[in-house]
């Protein structure tokens, strides 16, 4: 199949694009200028294109004849940045997603697979089902709900979709330079570079961590027609508090927690206290989380150590 991956040079996009290629697909990648360093550009057709600007799709429209499926991963991905720079968030996640839908309609693409987020749910104490009312508390959560609505509405133009609401990803390749997104990568970077871990808010907050390789396998299921026009949670369904996450990172790092200063620098707007996925629906497709949390963290640590020592 000819598959276009929007945001294909990002953390998840890189893993997904390589996996699709391994499976024999022709993969076209779109991302922002300067983002293609981690990608083997000889394996893919790569285009620098800012999804906020519709005219930037022109080149792809001309050069790529038939596109069967679009994976739309390109996004402003940080809850914190969405509060600090709301216009960037809306431009990328709302206008950008509308532009992706317009492009898909023009190119008569048969399916869009969209990565939405657990942030669309807001705070719930129970395991969250796909049927729960979405009541986001961050601008990011709101912009992702808008993205979902565009994708659903474009179904009227003979374009199927699968929406994945991803919980908290971790794994090798997560952006170590961005200290505003990715709880596991933020604490891991700090633990490697210093003896001080800065936490934004309570250590009792909790998340549902899912390894990037498991997420890729979930996204691949989107190519099959039995996932058409469905929404799936993708998480591990296991609760890990911020405090447990830090302990686990120090464990794989072979460091004593008594050597570390854990400093609460105050919470930021729009932060969710906790969320855990109910994954019964995606389990029915035969998918389940395979990578154990500590094994995954250990691999991520080895990768992060190499990456940070390079700099
Ligand atoms: N990482 C997580 O924990 C998580 C959780 C829930 C949902 N998601 C979603 O999964 C997807 C992938 O996330 P990720 O962790 O790989 O993030 P990432 O930031 O590594 O990847 C996003 C990619 O989108 C690209 N992008 C941003 N703005 C763009 C624009 N205007 N035009 C073109 N490309 C643009 C970025 O350059 C980047 O390569 C996103 O849609 C994100 O919202 C991620």
Q: Quick one: pLDDT at residue 183? A: 87
Token duo for residue 174: 């997560």
Average pLDDT of 59-86? 95
Indicate the length of the chain as a whole number: 311
Residue of minimum CA distance from atom 39 in ligand 1: 10
Q: Are residues 196 and 297 in the same domain?
A: yes
Q: Is residue 177 part of a domain?
A: no
Alpha-carbon distance of 177 to 174, in angstroms, equals: 9
Residue of minimum CA distance from atom 27 in ligand 1: 75
Verify whether ligand 1 is closer than 6 Å to residue 3 (CB atom). no
Alpha-carbon distance of 83 to 284, in angstroms, equals: 36
Verify whether ligand 1 is closer than 6 Å to residue 175 (CB atom). yes
Q: Give every CB contact of residue 7 below 8 A, 6+ residues apart in sequence.
A: 13, 30, 31, 72, 73, 74, 75
Average pLDDT of 164-193? 89
Q: Are residues 81 and 221 in the same domain?
A: yes
Q: Is residue 70 part of a domain?
A: yes
Q: Are residues 112 and 35 in the same domain?
A: yes
Q: What is the span of the domain harbouring residue 111?
A: 2-170+209-234
Q: Are residues 188 and 68 in the same domain?
A: no
Q: Is residue 283 part of a domain?
A: no
CATH code for position 53: 3.40.50.720
Verify whether ligand 1 is closer than 6 Å to residue 276 (CB atom). no
Q: Is residue 281 part of a domain?
A: no
Verify whether ligand 1 is closer than 6 Å to residue 168 (CB atom). yes
| Model confidence, pTM | 0.96
Q: What distances in angstroms separate CA 107 from CA 30, 100, 103, 222, 257, one per listed residue?
A: 15, 10, 6, 19, 54
Q: Are residues 161 and 302 in the same domain?
A: no
- Is residue 200 predicted with pLDDT exceeding 90? no
Q: Are residues 120 and 52 in the same domain?
A: yes
Q: Are residues 125 and 219 in the same domain?
A: yes
- Is residue 98 predicted with pLDDT exceeding 90? yes
The structural domain count of the chain equals 2
Verify whether ligand 1 is closer than 6 Å to residue 122 (CB atom). no
Q: Quick one: pLDDT at residue 33? A: 95
Q: Is residue 261 part of a domain?
A: yes
Average pLDDT of 30-58? 93
Q: Quick one: pLDDT at residue 141? A: 97
Token duo for residue 127: 């395991």
Q: Are residues 151 and 13 in the same domain?
A: yes
Q: Are residues 65 and 198 in the same domain?
A: no
Q: Is residue 175 part of a domain?
A: no
Q: Is residue 80 part of a domain?
A: yes
pLDDT digits (tens, 9 = 90+) for 266-277: 888 878 888 999
Verify whether ligand 1 is closer than 6 Å to residue 52 (CB atom). yes
Per residue, the 3-state secondary structure of the chain, as one string, reads: CEEEEECCCCHHHHHHHHHHHHCCCEEEEEECCCCHHHCCHHHCEEEECCCCCHHHHHHHHHHCCCCCEEEECCCCCCHHHHHHCHHHHHHHHHHHHHHHHHHHHHCCCCEEEEEEEHHHCCCCCCCECCCCCCCCCCHHHHHHHHHHHHHHHHHHHCCEEEEEEECEEECCCCCCCCCCCCHHHHHHHHHHHCCEEEECCCCCCEECEEEHHHHHHHHHHHHCHHHCCEEEEECCCCCEEHHHHHHHHHHHCCCCHHHCEEEECCCCCCCCCECCECCHHHHCCCCCCCCCHHHHHHHHHHHHHHHHHHC
Q: Is residue 61 part of a domain?
A: yes
Asked which of 59-63, 68-72, 159-163, 217-221 is least confident by mean pLDDT, the reply is 59-63
Mutate which of 6, 8, 9, 10 for ligand 1? The one with the most ligand atoms within 8 Å of its CB, which is 10
Q: Are residues 130 and 223 in the same domain?
A: yes
- Is residue 310 predicted with pLDDT exceeding 70? no
Q: Are residues 296 and 194 in the same domain?
A: yes
Average pLDDT of 167-177? 91
Q: Are residues 15 and 67 in the same domain?
A: yes
Verify whether ligand 1 is closer than 6 Å to residue 219 (CB atom). no
CA of 72 to the centre of ligand 1 (A): 9
CATH code for position 187: 3.90.25.10
Average pLDDT, the chain: 94
| Residue 180's pLDDT band (cuts 50, 70, 90) | confident
């Amino acid at each position: 199949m000819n598959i276009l991956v929007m945001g294909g040079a990002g953390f998840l996009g890189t893993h997904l694009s390589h996996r699709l290629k391994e499976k024999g697909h022709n993969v076209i990648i779109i991302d922002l200028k300067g983002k293609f360093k981690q990608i083997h550009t000889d394996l893919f057709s790569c285009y620098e294109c800012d999804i906020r600007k519709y005219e930037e799709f022109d080149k792809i429209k001309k050069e790529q004849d038939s596109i069967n499926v679009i994976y739309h991963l390109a996004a402003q991905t940080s809850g914190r940045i969405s509060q600090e720079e709301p216009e960037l968030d809306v431009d990328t996640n709302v206008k950008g997603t509308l532009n992706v839908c317009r492009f898909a309609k023009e190119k008569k693409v048969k399916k869009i697979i969209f990565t939405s987020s657990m942030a669309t749910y807001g705070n719930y104490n129970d395991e969250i089902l796909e049927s729960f009312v979405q009541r986001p508390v961050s601008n990011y959560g709101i912009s992702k709900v808008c993205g979902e609505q565009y994708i659903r509405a474009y179904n009227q133009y003979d374009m199927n979709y699968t929406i994945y609401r991803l919980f908290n990803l971790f794994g090798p390749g997560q952006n170590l330079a961005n200290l505003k997104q990715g709880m596991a990568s933020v604490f891991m970077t700090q633990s490697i570079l210093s003896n001080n871990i800065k936490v934004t808010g309570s250590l009792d907050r909790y998340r549902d961590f899912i390894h990037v390789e498991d997420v890729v396998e979930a996204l691949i299921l989107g190519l099959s027609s039995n996932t058409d026009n469905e929404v799936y949670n993708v998480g591990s369904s296991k609760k890990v508090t911020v405090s447990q996450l830090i302990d686990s990172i120090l464990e794989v790092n072979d460091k004593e927690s008594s050597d570390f200063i854990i400093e609460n620098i105050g919470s930021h707007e729009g932060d969710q206290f906790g969320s855990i996925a109910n994954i019964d629906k995606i389990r029915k497709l035969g998918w389940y989380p395979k990578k154990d949390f500590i094994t995954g963290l250990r691999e991520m640590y080895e990768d992060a150590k190499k990456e940070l020592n390079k700099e």
